[in-house]
Amino acid sequence: MTLTQDRKTDIQQRFLRVDTANVADILDEMGHLDCGLASDLWPIRERLERMAGWAYTIRGQMTPYPGTGDPKKMEAVSGLTPGHLSVWSGGGAEGVCFFGELIARGMQLRGCTGALVDGGIRDIEWLARMDFPVYARYRTPVQSIGRWAVNAWQVDIYLPGATSARVRVRPDDFILADADGALVIPQEIVETVLERAEALTEKEARIREDLDAGMSLPDVLTKYGHV
């Protein structure tokens, strides 16, 4: 899929105005039944976090190594461009953080729209002060240096799923997340899903107006059908 940067920005901004619940329903209708991510990928600020962006994948694994840094992590992050959302695959690692405040600030300066981390994060208080949404599996003060290292980026990865053990995420698939959870939208159908989700959002707004005006729920369902 080849889209201009302006078009990508427009799509990203429009997705921020629809709910994951509506998008999940559209994906089901289109036959994409396993796009939801596991519920333990949770935002650091539950009621404030909403994020959308084009997946920039980063993969790593637990592995002991000498030295005082992870050069590949720095190289991977340097490839982020505006509209990307960093997606970190940790291979099920437990107990160490993949990034904290400083690397998040670097990503934000590059135009990254958020982070989805199948692993740990730290510096929670500082991250919470930034206008930078983060979803992660767990929190820990223990750094990754010497313990966990990036081994690839912008490759296909797996994340734990809601209705399947794994969900495949490819570079430039689309990530949408809000207080209900996170979804992966295959890049080939992003625009179709968005248009249908916007139509469903408008339909639900009319339903709320009718309910507020006194219409009964059975009458609403007769008028609009299942939603």
147 class by beta-carbon count within 10 Å (0-12 exposed, 13-18 middle, 19+ buried): middle
Mind spelling out the 3-state secondary structure of 42-61? EECCCCCCCEEEEEEEEEEE
Determine contact, residues 108/85, Cβ cutoff 8 Å.
no
Please check if 103 is assigned to a binding site.
yes
Helix, strand, coil percentages for the chain (3-state, nearest 5): 35, 30, 40
Q: Say whether 101 counts as a known binding-site residue.
A: yes
State the number of CA atoms in the 13 A half-sphere of 8 facing the CB: 21
Distance CA 173, CA 195 (A): 17
100 is in an annotated binding site: yes
Any known ligand binding at 123?
A: yes
How far from chain centre, in Å, is Cα 160?
13
* 24: its two tokens: 């999940």
- Do residues 189 and 30 touch, judged by C-beta distance below 8 A? yes
DSSP 38: P
Looking up tokens 């404030």, which residue turns up? 48
Residue (of 146, 168, 150, 170) closest to 159 by Cα position = 168
Binding positions are 100-103, 122-123
Binding positions for substrate are 100-103, 122-123
